[in-house]
């Protein structure tokens, strides 16, 4: 499934099935991850692959800027909600390096084909200035006869992928067959100093 096929499929799903949305359990997990974001990192939050952008009400009040991004037809079908913007896909994000303090990508990566995973992770880590928060389903999901999860791998596979990118700390745990990963990547001097003082981590790779 290429990005154009995915755009057509998911825009139709969002339009035809109002109940296809993020559940309360997932939103609770996101809120828990955001609680642990220090004050000095709460400037911009970008939700990449935001779908209906349910995170806006949960995460938005904690940040100065909260933006959602999804495929063009998804954004159009949802009526161009405020602070929701178009992207052409996770493998070619148009944002600048280190543009957002915190980047979230929730229940999205498993929808990509395996050959796109490395490029997508490279883009997400490039845009995230201080922290990347991911949730990744580890199970099959067949919807109306179509398998929506094109990459089904285990925790070890995903964490080894993420560990290749520069970071101070990588945290991962599985809850309800969903993998949660937080990659702490403080790149600004202020955030790096605060992070080192808090956790005494010194293993940031060049």
Each residue's pLDDT tens digit in the chain (206 positions)? 666 677 777 777 777 777 777 777 888 889 889 999 999 999 999 999 998 898 888 889 999 999 999 999 888 888 777 889 999 899 999 999 999 999 999 999 999 999 999 999 999 999 999 999 999 999 999 988 889 999 999 999 999 999 999 999 999 999 999 999 999 987 755 554 544 444 443 333 33
Contact 15, 76 (CB under 8 A): no
Is 83 contained in some domain? Answer: yes
Burial class (CB in 10 A: 0-12, 13-18, 19+), 96: exposed
Is residue 197, in this structure, part of any structural domain at all? no
13: domain CATH number?
3.40.50.150
Number of domains in the chain: 1
Is residue 21 included in any domain, yes or no?
yes
Whether residue 200 lies inside any domain: the answer is no
Residue 14 in any domain: the answer is yes
Answer whether residue 60 is part of any domain: yes
- Look up the domain containing 146 and give its range: 3-150+157-188
Tokens 């296809």 map to which residue?
A: 20
- By C-alpha distance, which of 91, 107, 122 is closest to 179? 107
Domain-embedded: residue 31? yes
Q: Is residue 196 part of a domain?
A: no
């Amino acid at each position: 499934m290429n990005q154009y096929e995915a755009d057509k499929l998911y825009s139709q799903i969002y339009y035809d099935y109002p109940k296809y949305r993020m559940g309360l359990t997932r939103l609770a997990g996101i809120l828990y991850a955001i609680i642990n974001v220090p004050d000095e990192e709460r400037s911009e939050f970008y939700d990449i692959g935001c779908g209906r952008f349910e995170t806006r009400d949960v995460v938005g009040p904690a940040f100065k800027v909260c933006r959602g991004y999804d495929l063009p037809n998804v954004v159009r079908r949802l009526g161009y909600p405020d602070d929701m913007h178009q992207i052409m896909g996770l493998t070619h994000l148009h944002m600048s390096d280190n543009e957002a303090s915190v980047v979230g990508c929730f229940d999205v990566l498993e929808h990509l084909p395996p050959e796109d995973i490395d490029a997508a992770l490279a883009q997400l880590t490039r845009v995230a200035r201080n922290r990347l928060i991911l949730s990744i389903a580890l199970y099959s999901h067949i919807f109306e006869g179509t398998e929506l999860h094109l990459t089904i791998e285990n925790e070890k596979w995903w964490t080894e992928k993420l560990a290749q990118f520069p970071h101070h700390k990588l945290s991962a745990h599985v809850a309800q067959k969903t993998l949660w990963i937080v990659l702490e990547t403080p790149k600004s001097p202020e955030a790096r100093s605060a992070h080192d003082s808090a956790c005494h981590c010194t293993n940031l790779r060049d």
